[in-house]
Amino acid sequence: MPAPAPRRRRADLDNPRSYQALDPGGMLQMAVDFPAQLEHAARIGEGFRPPAALRGPSAIVLSGMGGSAAAGDLLSRLCEDRLPVPFLVNRSYQIPGFVGPDTLFLASSHSGNTEETLAATSAALRRRARVVCITTGGKLALLARRRSLPLIEIPQTDPPMPPRASLGYSFLPLVFLLQSLGLYPGLARQSQEAVKLARKLRDQVGPDVPARRNRAKRLALDLHGRIPWVQGTPGIMSAAAYRWRCQFNENSKVLAHSSEYPELNHNEVVGWEVSPRLARHISVVVLQQPAAQARLLARVQITTEMVGRKAPVHLIQADGKSPLAQLIWTVYLADFVSIYLGFLNGADPSAIAAINELKSRLARL
């Protein structure tokens, strides 16, 4: 029998030397630099001048995968209460049947080579949709230049930044695009508060802040050895909950679950009748907006009391005044929590071996 693999020593989150070797890709530094990315992304958005032909769509579709699609999730939920047209996020090779000449089709691929997004974009062009591309380059940028499509170019770093670490670049320019098209007036102004709040959060939960004063480190320590179960209140916190789940998957190398109020009160809550032996492996994180509806707050309070009989519950209320700032603050906190949890698991937050294996095997077919 082969010798068992040596056990990794648990990282000391207050001692960078204990986890530096786990982070050859510099994921933690990317998180530290995120406020600067937001500032740069805002300048890219301000500098993009959409052609008049994009105005007045009957629907919006963002097609993307993984970290690139996350921008669509955040944007669609951010705007759903004021956007005058439907907004759908498409994660597929195919596109919805309604896509046509009056559809604003946002093709989002960080690398520019995502096969699902390229296939969906080609289908949208065949239906004469109003296509806008957002990418660092690759085949999508070539397609945009060849077909004279509006192109939002975002920076490509060396080595390349993972799409999930490039959320500011894939998200904020689209915020400015919707404002420029008159679909959500005033939205871009909220970006200034979002950048300031991100800087403040970095100073509160960055690697130099000890765990006793660092809520991200403390939460990672509480989640260590458990399955994160993220619940979000409706709208932007629901989108944030899914982002937290994905960050746990990729950065922390753990399974995670996400769900949304009030829907989870009609199904998931019954599942918490599970035995305490199984529930002890789960830790719940509830994401909530300030000043939520009283009826919704009552649901959250009652549900957390019920769930708290079986598993620990961590309630996180978003900081900030504007919805955009609250959203950015919440997803930014997930970056630090998931990276710290990855270190505690002895994992490289940048590595995505399973995704790379899948792509390699598909390429041989």
Which residues form the catalytic set? 250, 266, 359
CA atoms within 13 A on the CB side of 280: 3
Tokens linked to 344: 């505690």
Three-state SS across the chain? Answer: CCCCCCCCCCCCCCCHHHCHHHCCCCHHHHHHCHHHHHHHHHHHHHHCCCCHHHCCCCEEEEECCHHHHHHHHHHHHHHCCCCCCCEEEECCCCCCCCCCCCEEEEEEECCCCCHHHHHHHHHHHHCCCEEEEEECCHHHHHHHHHCCCCEEECCCCCCCCCHHHHHHHHHHHHHHHHHHCCCCCCCCCHHHHHHHHHHHHHHHHCCCCCHHHCHHHHHHHHHCCCEEEEEECCCHHHHHHHHHHHHHHHHHCCCCEEEECCHHHHCHHHHCCCCHHHHCCEEEEEEECCCCCHHHHHHHHHHHHHHCCCCCEEEEECCCCCHHHHHHHHHHHHHHHHHHHHHHCCCCCCCCHHHHHHHHHHHCC
Cα end-to-end distance, the chain, whole Å: 34
Residue 296's contacts (CB-CB under 8 Å, 6 or more residues apart) are 233, 234, 261, 262
Identity of the amino acid at 37: Q
